[in-house]
Structure 1
Amino acid sequence: MKKSIKKTFKKSISLLKKPKFAIPFVIVLVTGLYGGYRIQKHYHFLGDGVTHINWADMDSFMETARSDDKRMPKFHQESLLANVPSSKTYDSKTGKMVPVAVWDSWPVQNPDGTVADFHGYRLVLGLTSKNARNDGEAKIGIYAQKISDNSNDISTWKYLGDAFNTPYEGAPNGKPDKYLSKKYGEWSGSTVMMNSKDSSIRLFYANAMLDDAGQALTTAEITLDPQNGSDWNSGLVINHDKAKDHKTVFTGDGEYYQIPSQNPGHAAKASEELTMRDPHFVQDGDQYYLIFEGNTGSKYNIQGERNFTNYSNYGDWNTYRYMKNKFAMNKDSISYGKAYYANAAIGKIQLNKDFSVKKVMKPMVVANMVDDEIERVNLFQFQGKWYLFATSWGAKFASTDKNYENKVFMMGYVSENGINGDYKKLNGNGMVMISNTGGPDFTYAHLVIPNKDQKNDKMVVTSFEDSHTFAPSFLMQLKGRETHIITDRVLDQGALVDNGKYYDAEPQVLNN
């Protein structure tokens, strides 16, 4: 048999030495390779170099949700529904103190993502507004908790006020750049203590701009000083006179990430998002990065009809054959409209040391044809691997399955070959947790906080509750490519560390 194969191979080589055979062979080879290249470029049967949240993944989420350890813990204690007691401010219109609602919030972190010790305090920044949540009037507020109190109780958090007294506070020479000058709302991001010896923190947030100008990733340096002289134990105050370097970092490039001129606005039978928000700073060695929520630009099949020709958006052959045909026959359906515009992305840029853009990088994860909004991105290194988490509303999925509409999902990915490596889906399909929406114990904007102890695989997860206060934190176990939500207990509201104080809980029963 081996002799026969060897003889046939030698005969083929000898034929190729003859021009009348070699030329047609080369033509067929080149034609085949070019045809294969054209097919791959159009359909992406071999992938396009990024991780896709595909239709098959989405279809499997509700099956994954049957596992108790993929559900949000449900708590029963009335004491865990409290407002932050100190979260109040003076309202000049009424002449009275009024409550300050807080929703998306995040801790001040070290460059490695662990919770920072800011001169004996843990700090949290969050989106706030007077009386009740109002995204259009959102301002970033700052909260402090003394570490020496050795407590996670919500009463230990002290509201310090707004990060900025004026919209452009800290802008170079007092003059905002052209994007900052259009600011009307401050939306969520991240904050890092770059130098533990000084009193500054570096804030990254999303500037929600006027006149349909979109959103912009923005940064500033903020200073907090001791309340009394040099006595850090006396409490903290925001020193607004020391704010500086308030500037725009990135607004999209049109190629990797969609910009306003590429966005058709709100579409019939579909929710059409344009996002450039939730900037999350991460440092790897001496390299700085921002990851963020965005939408794909022209280099990654921005949106539209191309969503339906990309095999990577379907996930497997059976899904490809069935859904491609279904979309073709139902172009007037809600599902088609949502899939047509869906192009959510988790983006990444590399920064210079002055926090300007060094390099625009390809997306880490895309969800074309499946999801139009992926929020609350965060990234950290643990046990030699890079873990990426994000949250999304089921109502933003292109599926018309009613089970998705009243749910939120936390998703996760892991790279075992560096921060710029290939991100594999945790738990096989990327789903980490499912949670109900609605009700006083509704939580969202879940944020996974890495441990300083690399041997401790239980991570604290924070979120907000009912759009006005910190939610009880809970624990998630991280084991390689698998995650497990610990559902029999929760921590105090707003807890950033696991101090061993727990409240009984159980896995949520999912609403229909």
Structure 2
Amino acid sequence: MNNDAGGDRRPSTWTREHASGLERTAENTAPVIYPPDEPTDPDNHIWDTWLLRTPDGEIADVGGYRVIVALSAPNDLLPGKRHDVATHRFYYSADGRTWTPGGTLFGDSDPLGSRQWAGSAIYDPETGAVSLYYTAAGHRDESDLSYTQHLAVAHGGSIRVDDGVHFDGPWEHDSLARPDGEWYEREEQSRGMIYTFRDPWYFEDPETGEAYILFEGNTPVPEGTDACGGDAEQQAFNGSVGIARADRDDPTACELLPPLVDGVCVNQELERPHVVYRDGTYYLFIASHKHTFAPGLDGYDALYGFAADALFGEYEPLNGTGLVATNPANAPFQAYSWLAYGHRGEILVTSFFNYYDYDRPSLDDVGLLPAAEQFRRFGGTLAPTLRLGVDGLETWIRGTLAHGHLPTKDEPLPETETERLARLRGERDGRDGYGR
């Protein structure tokens, strides 16, 4: 175990040996998703989504409501163009099932970047302060879209309940961090298909009280090095889970630290990293795509995870390979951008409903479809929530909840069908109740 958060610490490694064992099983494959009766937002597509949390990681209760923030784009825009205009919108719910659109998040203030990608949202009930961490993509007022990225924060605003939920400014927007070129690759250093420095996720270590920001980056691999056995093509796949020291009292404070995990030679994108702390174990989750795995590896659009007994400890891949939950083979792109949180001895996982009735081998083929078919096959709403069982380094899908059902920690969940059948047989698995 490595508790050193300083510059001499080496990241844990997701290796090609781990990833070579990736395969779908009954315990990691989600059921096929069908469209809901009504979308979360009738006017906008939404995708990457996160919950408003308190600094200690609990889901925030604001006057009896819980709140989610999501990337959004008008639903008359071709789905493949949504990242070019991504805007943060928020939604609130009293029951965790029906979500009311609250509008755009930042009001009249001007966030950094030409558009804003994923992040996290923190509400401090002691002070009423709200901090909204996000990815600033591109430059303000650019005539041609660029894909430069840096971590940013909006602070100074507040939230109130008055005939619904409202965020109030004035917001101040500050840049948090940019890649240093040593631990985290700069855009001009990139040799990969996709450049990443994004997805800031605020986390307070429950064992130390220290605050951190996790994010997605790339590890620099200079040409001519012996990484990946000197294979230049594999070296371009160099995703990492980055971390920076933060300050609970100053949302603009940010000091880069070495990565927690690197996937050099394995995967280019370790997206939306976040941690669920459970019974002394740190569960680190990421999302990644089939097409971002290095040559010679066959992965999936899926939720992947690692575990350690300290935040800066040695992370081991869950289930031996890192694969936690994926889409079925006949609907390989039906959901994406999974986000996990703890709930009454299990872990719940939300995601967005992506492309369905679509089983081509690559998302690149979506653009070959007529526009009407691209619209028809894109969900653009909250997906069914997965229920994960967890036992040490082992996880399994226990069941699902409805589209967009995001319970709080005190809401009891129904017995799964597998558990019901096992109970009728009088069987127990000795870990989390009746059988898996």
Relative to the length of structure 1, the TM-score reads 0.67
Does residue 1:162 correspond to 2:118, yes or no?
A: no
For residue 161 of structure 2, the aligned residue among 210, 223, 226 is 226
Does residue 1:462 correspond to 2:350, yes or no?
A: yes
> Residue 138 of structure 1 aligns with which residue?
86
Does residue 1:478 correspond to 2:357, yes or no?
A: no
2-structure distance, mates of 1:340, 1:109? 37
- Could you tell me which amino acid in structure 1 is paired with residue 118 of structure 2? S
Q: CA RMSD in A?
A: 2.6
> Residue 9 of structure 1 aligns with which residue?
none
For residue 70 of structure 1, the aligned residue among 5, 24, 28 is 28
Residues 214-240 of structure 1, C-alpha deviations (whole Å, 9 max, x = no match): 10111112322233xxxxxx322232x
SS in 1 for 2:188: helix
| Contact 2:106/2:171 (<8 A) preserved | no
For residue 55 of structure 2, the aligned residue among 78, 103, 111 is 111
SS in 2 for 1:68: coil
SS in 2 for 1:468: strand
Cα 1:343–1:492 change in 2 (3 A) is same
The runs of 4+ residues in structure 1 deviating greater than 6 Å are: 502-505
For residue 432 of structure 1, the aligned residue among 324, 349, 370 is 324
| Contact 1:252/1:276 (<8 A) preserved | yes
Q: How does 1:243-322 map to 2 (within 5 A)?
A: 243-264=170-191, 271-284=192-205, 285-297=208-220, 302-306=221-225, 309-310=226-227
Cα 1:355–1:197 change in 2 (3 A) is closer
Cα 1:81–1:69 change in 2 (3 A) is farther
2-structure distance, mates of 1:412, 1:136? 29
- Could you tell me which amino acid in structure 2 is paired with residue 369 of structure 1? C
Residues 41-94 of structure 1, C-alpha deviations (whole Å, 9 max, x = no match): xxxxxxx832212111121102xx2x3111123345x5x36312xx25xxxxxx
SS in 2 for 1:419: coil
Cα 1:123–1:440 change in 2 (3 A) is farther
- Could you tell me which amino acid in structure 2 is paired with residue 457 of structure 1? G
SS in 2 for 1:159: strand
SS in 2 for 1:203: strand
1-structure distance, mates of 2:47, 2:222? 31
Q: For residue 390 of structure 1, report the CA deviation from its aligned partner.
A: 0.3
Q: How does 1:373-388 map to 2 (within 5 A)?
A: 373-388=269-284
Cα 1:279–1:429 change in 2 (3 A) is same
Cα 1:380–1:303 change in 2 (3 A) is farther
Q: Give 1 or 2: higher helix fraction.
A: 1
- Could you tell me which amino acid in structure 1 is paired with residue 185 of structure 2? Q
Cα 1:261–1:191 change in 2 (3 A) is same
| Contact 1:152/1:493 (<8 A) preserved | no
> Residue 55 of structure 1 aligns with which residue?
16
1-structure distance, mates of 2:165, 2:86? 22
Number of aligned residue pairs: give it. 371
SS in 1 for 2:402: coil
Segments of structure 2 that go 5 or more residues without pairing to the other structure are: 1-8, 140-144, 355-378, 419-436
1-structure distance, mates of 2:115, 2:416? 36
Q: For residue 431 of structure 1, report the CA deviation from its aligned partner.
A: 1.8
Residues 404-444 of structure 1, C-alpha deviations (whole Å, 9 max, x = no match): 4xx3122111111x222221222222221222488598110
| Contact 2:46/2:71 (<8 A) preserved | yes
Q: For residue 490 of structure 1, report the CA deviation from its aligned partner.
A: 1.6
> Residue 308 of structure 2 aligns with which residue?
415
| Contact 2:118/2:198 (<8 A) preserved | yes
Does residue 1:203 correspond to 2:132, yes or no?
A: yes
Q: For residue 135 of structure 1, report the CA deviation from its aligned partner.
A: 0.6
Cα 1:105–1:468 change in 2 (3 A) is same
Segments of structure 1 that go 5 or more residues without pairing to the other structure are: 1-47, 89-98, 170-179, 228-233, 265-270, 314-323, 329-335, 506-512
SS in 2 for 1:160: strand
For residue 493 of structure 1, the aligned residue among 382, 403, 420 is 403
- Could you tell me which amino acid in structure 2 is paired with residue 290 of structure 1? I
Relative to the length of structure 2, the TM-score reads 0.78
| Contact 1:461/1:473 (<8 A) preserved | yes
| Contact 1:152/1:492 (<8 A) preserved | no
Q: For residue 502 of structure 1, report the CA deviation from its aligned partner.
A: 8.1
- Could you tell me which amino acid in structure 1 is paired with residue 381 of structure 2? T
Cα 1:461–1:254 change in 2 (3 A) is same
1-structure distance, mates of 2:259, 2:222? 15
- Could you tell me which amino acid in structure 1 is paired with residue 340 of structure 2? V
SS in 2 for 1:135: helix
2-structure distance, mates of 1:253, 1:492? 42
SS in 2 for 1:258: coil
Q: For residue 287 of structure 1, report the CA deviation from its aligned partner.
A: 1.5
SS in 2 for 1:420: coil
> Residue 116 of structure 2 aligns with which residue?
186
- Could you tell me which amino acid in structure 2 is paired with residue 135 of structure 1? H
1-structure distance, mates of 2:381, 2:90? 13
Q: Percent identity, aligned pairs only?
A: 24
Q: For residue 286 of structure 1, report the CA deviation from its aligned partner.
A: 3.5
1-structure distance, mates of 2:332, 2:261? 32
- Could you tell me which amino acid in structure 2 is paired with residue 283 of structure 1? E
| Contact 1:449/1:459 (<8 A) preserved | yes
